[in-house]
Amino acid sequence: MNENKRDRARTIASTQPGSVAGLIMVSAVIFYAAGLALRGSAEFDFWVDGVIALLCVWLPTGVAWMAVLRTRLRRYDILSAAAGVTSLAIADTYYVVKTGEGQDVPLGSPADIFYLLSYVLILASLIFVVVWRFRAVAWPVVLDSTVGTLGAGAVLVVVLDPFLKPAFDGVFTFDAALAAAYPLLDLLLLAAVIGIVVTPGRPPGGGWLALIVGLLVFTGADIVYAMLELEGLYVVGTPLDAAWAAGTALITVWIVMQGFEEQFRRGTEKGLLARTVPTQTVPALATVASLTVLVLGTQRPISFLAVVLASLTLALAALPLVFRHRVRIAAVHLQAMTDELTGLPNRRALYSTVPVRLVVDAQRISAVLLLDLDKFKEVNDSLGHDVGDRLLKQVADRLRAQLRAEDFLARMGGDEFVIHLNGCGDSESEAVAMKLRAALAEPYDLGSVTVQVNASIGMAHYPAQGNDLTTLLRKADMAMYKAKTTRSGHGTYCDEGLQATKYHTLESLNSALLNDQLVVHFQPQIDLRSGKVRGVEALVRWDHPTEGILAPPLFLKRFDEAGLMSPLTSVVLGKALDQSVVWKEQGRVLTVAVNVCSGSIIDSSLPDQIAAMTTVRGLDPSVLVIEITEDLLMGDRDRARTVLTRLRTMGVRIAVDDFGKGYSSLAYLRELPIDELKLDKSFVMSMSHDAKAAALVVSTIGLAHSLGLEMTAEGVESSTIYEALGESGCDLAQGFYMSRPVPAKEFDTWLTTYTPLPIEPTPSQAI
């Protein structure tokens, strides 16, 4: 509202000088006209023919340059037009001075050079306008405008023929050509202006009307001048001179108004883009007009120029029609092959493209990947289709970003995507699948919420598993289904009997454990009240021999599937506690949290194992925090309770990880021995832009505190969230804002430079 008012005030403020300048110019012209009408003798009148006449050209020149300055020299169209008016003023000045000195100025004098230059400059200005304005429009529009220009030219030449004729009169002397050149140049400008004005997409501003009228006035005056001058009858000081002055003033009005149009440029371009398919009106009108001109030509003689222009119009008018037809066909074709939501090729494109790729590259192996999002339906149902659509778009973008230009990616429909990878065998396509899943596993910011979605990928290979797309898709689908049900994430179709570790996965998993390829990174947990580092969370990484450091989402499920979770947990526990010893020796008091999966929690040997591990290292079990996830508690809760209770009695703290992410009941909070809730990062990350998420965070803090539990917020990525959490009474914070998970060495360096930032809860929130 205020913005609007301010905008309007600004527009009015900037329009005012324009109107004032216009008023002064008009007054000068009227004054001049009156002077010319009233003066008696044919002698050169110093005031009227000298001072006022020059004022009538230099005043617009000044106004035009003011417009140039207003646009800070950034608008070449205005600059060029102002130069054009200046050139006109210079020519007039030469003319007036010479005449004042009593000399006759013949055709072809220096004045003519400047007059002609002014046409060139104004034409250049129009070209700038065209380039600027037409950059955003399609080719057919440019053609339409050209046709409009030529058609208008043809008509103007015919209409003005009676006036032009006497000027030529069949004699082609230099003088005649020069004298006739002026009205013809006026017509050229006029036609160009009409071409611009009739271009679809924007309503022409008032400035253009001024320019058209101004050019018409010039045309009229130049025709009369040509007739008089060729007869040797032209004298300075007739009302004809006022006509040029008026024309100049009108052209200047256009220049000034163009300057103001800059503000509307954005809107204009949008309008143009919205209407890139041009209307038929302009070429149709131009065609009719040109036909009329030619038909007229059969009845009575018309000028050669009119015939040329009319014929050109007709020839070109046909061109945009052909052109447009082609463009349309291509557009329709593209539309039918494109998925509207993501802009990716659609199912139809898939079935027409991939078979061709298979035939063309028949000698090369290739892979078909079928990718399906896990739990997409839940997102769609619980958060709405808008959010679901946004998610699909981002998924499409991420997939696109991961693939090579030669790969083919299509959306099959729903949350299914198909990828065809040329030249990819088993290991290559598996690497791609892992890369894609890792890229998709990152959280999605969907405006109101942040969600995390995983994908399952099934793969089938050409020619090993099929020669045609249908077969390959069917097998990829089966592999995808298997990957989904086993939660392995991705897998390749295997013919029966070949089922065993085709990718040596089991082997590579074993080698990870045996060859000490698992490493642990540490991420600090900050006590919000004191700002001090309370402890760390140990997060496993796989330092893979060929793929580098892999994040847990890329391999944990595989370990789980292979029944190797318990050994993994042992490795992580061992490494985490080893690091604890180092810190203890350094005199640092830090707890270390380890993630333990469901399988290990119901393993009744876990407490003994942990007791042994801590005793051996001379550590108190209270340095350890065990993180469990709520969905895992839903299984064998009795066993879990027994194991957890024993751990807790030893002094190990128990934290519930990813709290709020699952769909479990809250009953276990009462039944199980728990010390801490770790609120899932999706809520924390959305806090700053989602009021509901923020409210959930605050009420969960209340819930935790009322149950006597501590609350940790994960996914703290900014100081704003860090402070908001502290003020809400949250106990601990963990997130990229403080530090990413890093190797122990890096963590130690971080710790030495860390400055605590304590936050006191605001009284109303301290629960």
Residues near ligand C2E (CB under 6 A): 443, 523, 539-540, 551-553, 556, 569, 572, 595, 597, 627, 657-658, 681, 714-717, 734-736, 741
Q: How far is the CB of 587 from Ca ion (least distance, A)?
A: 27
**Dihedral, 598, 602, 603, 608 alpha carbons, nearest 10:** 110
Secondary structure string (H, E, C) spanning 11-76: HHHHHHHHHHHHHHHHHHHHHHHHHHHHCCCCCCCHHHHHHHHHHHHHHHHHHHHHHHHHCCCCCH
Residue 540 interacting entry, from ligand C2E, Ca ion, none, C-beta within 5 to 8 Å by type: ligand C2E
- Using rule CB under 5 A, residue 676 touches Ca ion: no
User: Which one of 406-414, 443-451, 488-496, 650-658 is the stretch in contact with Ca ion (CB under 5 A)?
Assistant: 650-658
Whole-angstrom Cα distance, residue 1 to residue 564? 64
Q: How far is the CB of 507 from ligand C2E (least distance, A)?
A: 21
The mark string for 424-443 relative to Ca ion (x by CB under 5 A, - otherwise) is --------------------
Q: How far is the CB of 734 from Ca ion (least distance, A)?
A: 9
Tell me how many residues contact Ca ion (CB under 5 A): 5
Q: How far is the CB of 480 from ligand C2E (least distance, A)?
A: 23
Nearer to Ca ion, 219 or 734 (CB): 734
Distances (CA, A) of 182 to 117, 253, 567: 11, 21, 95
Decide: 100 and 46 in contact? Cβ < 8 Å: yes
With a CB cutoff of 8 Å and minimum separation 6, the contacts of 320 are: 140, 143, 144, 147, 278, 283
Q: How far is the CB of 379 from ligand C2E (least distance, A)?
A: 18
Whole-angstrom Cα distance, residue 223 to residue 215? 12
Distances (CA, A) of 59 to 54, 56, 217, 311, 746: 8, 6, 19, 42, 73
Q: Nearest-CA neighbor of 714 among 723, 704, 722?
A: 722
- Using rule CB under 5 A, residue 144 touches Ca ion: no
Nearer to ligand C2E, 423 or 553 (CB): 553
Residue 117 interacting entry, from ligand C2E, Ca ion, none, C-beta within 5 to 8 Å by type: none
Helices 385-402, 376-383: crossing angle, 10 deg rounding: 140
Residue 557 interacting entry, from Ca ion, ligand C2E, none, C-beta within 5 to 8 Å by type: none
Q: How far is the CB of 732 from ligand C2E (least distance, A)?
A: 12
Nearer to ligand C2E, 214 or 741 (CB): 741
Strands (E), 244-344: none
For residue 412, report the phi and psi dihedrals to the nearest 5 degrees: -75, -25
Cβ-closest residue to ligand C2E? Answer: 735
Nearer to ligand C2E, 284 or 441 (CB): 441
Decide: 306 and 290 in contact? Cβ < 8 Å: no
Tokens read off for 316:
């070109």
Nearer to ligand C2E, 85 or 526 (CB): 526
Nearer to ligand C2E, 180 or 572 (CB): 572
Whole-angstrom Cα distance, residue 48 to residue 60? 17
Nearer to ligand C2E, 368 or 725 (CB): 725
Nearer to ligand C2E, 550 or 669 (CB): 550
Q: Which of 658, 676, 710, 731 binds Ca ion (CB under 5 A)?
A: 658
Q: How far is the CB of 560 from ligand C2E (least distance, A)?
A: 8
Q: Which of 112, 339, 430, 627 binds Ca ion (CB under 5 A)?
A: 627
Q: How far is the CB of 712 from Ca ion (least distance, A)?
A: 9
User: Which one of 99-107, 155-163, 619-627, 665-673 is the stretch in contact with Ca ion (CB under 5 A)?
Assistant: 619-627
Nearer to ligand C2E, 344 or 677 (CB): 677
Distances (CA, A) of 267 to 242, 261, 271: 38, 10, 6
Q: How far is the CB of 694 from ligand C2E (least distance, A)?
A: 16
Residue 201 interacting entry, from ligand C2E, Ca ion, none, C-beta within 5 to 8 Å by type: none
Whole-angstrom Cα distance, residue 674 to residue 663? 19
3-state secondary structure of 505: helix
Nearer to Ca ion, 426 or 560 (CB): 560
Residue 539 interacting entry, from ligand C2E, Ca ion, none, C-beta within 5 to 8 Å by type: ligand C2E
Residues in 695-754 at the binding interface with Ca ion, rule: CB under 5 A: 714
Q: How far is the CB of 602 from Ca ion (least distance, A)?
A: 18
The mark string for 580-609 relative to Ca ion (x by CB under 5 A, - otherwise) is ---------------x--------------
Q: How far is the CB of 511 from ligand C2E (least distance, A)?
A: 18
Q: Nearest-CA neighbor of 368 among 292, 435, 466?
A: 466
Nearer to Ca ion, 461 or 678 (CB): 678
Residue 49 interacting entry, from Ca ion, ligand C2E, none, C-beta within 5 to 8 Å by type: none
Residues in 6-45 at the binding interface with Ca ion, rule: CB under 5 A: none
3-state secondary structure of 746: helix
User: Which one of 56-64, 361-369, 525-533, 653-661 is the stretch in contact with Ca ion (CB under 5 A)?
Assistant: 653-661
Residue 736 interacting entry, from ligand C2E, Ca ion, none, C-beta within 5 to 8 Å by type: ligand C2E
Q: Give the pairing type, strands 455-462 and 490-492.
A: parallel
Q: How far is the CB of 499 from Ca ion (least distance, A)?
A: 33
Distances (CA, A) of 741 to 339, 519, 522, 538: 39, 12, 5, 8
3-state secondary structure of 558: helix
Tokens read off for 103:
């000399």
- Using rule CB under 5 A, residue 657 touches Ca ion: yes
Whole-angstrom Cα distance, residue 649 to residue 596? 18
Q: How far is the CB of 676 from ligand C2E (least distance, A)?
A: 13
Nearer to ligand C2E, 118 or 595 (CB): 595
Decide: 108 and 93 in contact? Cβ < 8 Å: no
Nearer to ligand C2E, 443 or 743 (CB): 443
Q: Nearest-CA neighbor of 461 among 501, 489, 433, 500?
A: 433
Distances (CA, A) of 499 to 430, 467, 492, 493, 546: 16, 21, 10, 9, 24
Nearer to Ca ion, 399 or 632 (CB): 632
Q: How far is the CB of 645 from ligand C2E (least distance, A)?
A: 21
CA angle at residue 111 from 107 to 116, to 5 degrees?
90
Q: How far is the CB of 627 from Ca ion (least distance, A)?
A: 4
Whole-angstrom Cα distance, residue 508 to residue 397? 32
Q: Nearest-CA neighbor of 289 among 156, 192, 170, 399?
A: 156
Nearer to ligand C2E, 164 or 655 (CB): 655
Whole-angstrom Cα distance, residue 470 to residue 343? 23
Count the Cβ atoms, other than its own, within 10 Å of residue 545: 11
Residues that bind Ca ion (CB under 5 A): 595, 627, 657-658, 714
